[in-house]
Chains A and B, each alone.
Chain A
Amino acid sequence: QKEVEQDPGPLSVPEGAIVSLNCTYSNSAFQYFMWYRQYSRKGPELLMYTYSSGNKEDGRFTAQVDKSSKYISLFIRDSQPSDSATYLCAMRTGAQKLVFGQGTRLTINP
């Protein structure tokens, strides 16, 4: 079983829809949770960073962490075609080694 599970999709939604992306994990020692966006043939770009449980909002993006359920989510409101990319969840303990999910490929249709 992988430490971090993420549905690879692909996920296709119409422009303006609310998108929900999720990851589950098995290591209860994870404390830091991140979402990265990766465009085709590019490096991952940090979108959201959360420490421990709770919600964090940044513009159209909201990240949620539920440590009791070992479940994290990323919500994208008013989705745009430019949001089309692969979204990677990542997490770590105190050490800086990041453990990634497989990534979810998202397409926003105009």
Chain B
Amino acid sequence: DAGVTQSPTHLIKTRGQQVTLRCSPKSGHDTVSWYQQALGQGPQFIFQYYEEEERQRGNFPDRFSGHQFPNYSSELNVNALLLGDSALYLCASSFGASRSADTQYFGPGTRLTVL
């Protein structure tokens, strides 16, 4: 049973560029959440996708956008990259956005470096 997978593993971009990160949820899961983890900090919630719609959003600017596909996989897009966007980007999957009891399982993350 495959867990949560993310690609790419590492990415180096320059300021002003755009980046797309990808996530495939754990088998049987239909909800994907994205988190940003700066060095030495806990993950910060970016947004959550369920039924191909953004259901919740954290305190992140509109430069951060996402998409969920019919097969439940998801993309995170960041435009106009800033140095402060350098972080580990984590994808977490769960089942059913409305089911309070379900927990989230994390992927290995994509490490983004902005130069």
Contacts and interface: CB of A to CB of B under 8 A. Distances in A.
B66 to A, nearest CB: 14
B84 interface: no
A78 B9 CA distance: 34
Interface string B89-112: 010101001001111111111010
B105 A46 contact: yes
B111 to A, nearest CB: 7
Contact-size category for B: 20 to 34
A5 to B, nearest CB: 11
A32 interface: yes
A98 B101 CA distance: 13
A4 B90 CA distance: 19
Contacts of A46: 103-106
A110 interface: no
Interface in A21-39: 31-32, 34, 36
Interface of A: 4, 6, 8, 31-32, 34, 36, 41-46, 49, 51, 88, 90, 94-103
Interface of B: 4, 31, 33, 35, 40-45, 48, 56, 58, 88, 90, 92, 94, 97, 100-109, 111
